[in-house]
Structure 1
Amino acid sequence: MTEKASMIVNMHATPEVAADVPAAWAHFRRDLTPMMRNAGPGRFGMGRLGMGAVRVPPGHSACPAHTHLQADEIFVVLEGQGLFRYGDRVYDIGPGDCISCPADTGVAHQIANPVTQDGMGDLVYLAIGAEPPAEVCTYPDSGSLVIDGLNRRGFLREAPYYEGQPEPTPLLSCHAGKI
């Protein structure tokens, strides 16, 4: 058998990695597009689209409800039964369901695997999405946000436009022609 090219990844042979997250968000991922991955701040892989296989145990969700300003996302359910939250609505999801979450709608989305009386197992889905370098995500349940381009996570507080700006502006104290 010939060796596979580096851009070919077998979903079943790729190592599954436990996410380093608080227990309520426990899940496992398989990176299926390593050549497309962001290589770090200011450096990008060969693409800006990614896909991973996500496995979520009963009673968990891989992430909080969130919105994306720039990144469209698509989810394809492979195994198990789950819940999909889109804004204020909740839908049952199962194998074969393809879920579209367009960017810049302001509508939050989330997938979860509830604990059920019939003992359903893990929920497994593909997560496919754009990975823009300056993405902004909001989290309506907590009021937090993520600004990828600035590598910042936290809470935004309202402030007047000029709050904290030095007076007079440092530009006026510079020597003519030197900035």
Structure 2
Amino acid sequence: DHDRLAGAVVAGHLLECGAQVTGGNYSDFTAHDVRRPGFPLAEIGADGSAVLTKHPGTGGAVTTGTVTAQLLYETGPARYLGPDVVARLDTVRLAQEGPDRVRVHGVRGEAPPPTLKVGLSRLGGHRGEVVFVLTGLDIPAKAALVRAQLTEALAERPPAR
């Protein structure tokens, strides 16, 4: 059943970047406390629908706006290709069901493509780097938010030496 599979694939796409669906990449970053956004979870129905939510008391928010921002993140045309199904993003419907509860429904699916791209990686040592790219308006406010997030996180767990 392509439609039910497509619904589950869309729920997985919404969860894959963690706290982005709770406001981590939302343009209205001042609307909610995103210093420590909660991780989202999905209540997936047998019909392929899902309710996106988060644990009570955690930061961020689950709204149709934050879910839309993540739904469109790193997607191309209206078809989201997967090995089991193609999810039609132009059929996704969102409904705010309550505080921090967004229903995702109406997703249509199609047969999977005959081929897909695969990315592979391997362990190559211990090196890490982080780059923060702040775009759009309110750059000083965004930089202050990143500084506050890092300061709080590193105060609890100092970097390994």
Q: Same fold (TM over 0.5)?
A: no
TM-score for both structures, normalised by structure 1: 0.28
Higher relative strand content = 1
Structure with greater proportional helix content:
2
Task: Decide which structure has the larger Cα Rg and report it.
Answer: 1
Bigger relative contact order (CA 8 A; separation at least 6):
2
